Amino acid sequence: MAGSFAVFEALGIEETFDVSNSVFNPQYLQFLGINVLDYQVPVYNLAKPGDWVNGEWQKDRDENRSEHEVINRLIQKLFTSTSHDLYDSLFDDLKLAIEKPSTLDVLFKKIKYHFINQHPLIKFNEFPEDDKIVYIGGILVEDDKLLTETKKKEDNEFYCHVLVSFGTMDYIEMYPILYMIRQVFVKFPHCYFHIRATGNSTFDNGYTTKDPLPQKEILSHPNTRVFISHCGINSVNEVLYA
Nearest to 162 by CA among 202, 209, 205, 199: 205
Average pLDDT over the chain reads: 81
The per-residue pLDDT for 227 is 85
Task: Give the C-alpha separation, 178 to 207, whole Å.
Answer: 10
Contact (CB, 8 A) for 18 and 111: yes
Q: Is 83 in contact with 103 (CB distance < 8 Å)?
A: yes
> What does the pLDDT look like over 188-201, one tens digit per residue?
888 999 988 777 77
For strand 56-57 and strand 52-53, is the pairing parallel, antiparallel, or unpaired?
Answer: antiparallel
pLDDT band at 49 (very low <50, low <70, confident <90, very high): confident
* pLDDT tens, residue by residue, 96-140: 888 888 999 999 999 999 999 888 888 888 899 999 999 988 766
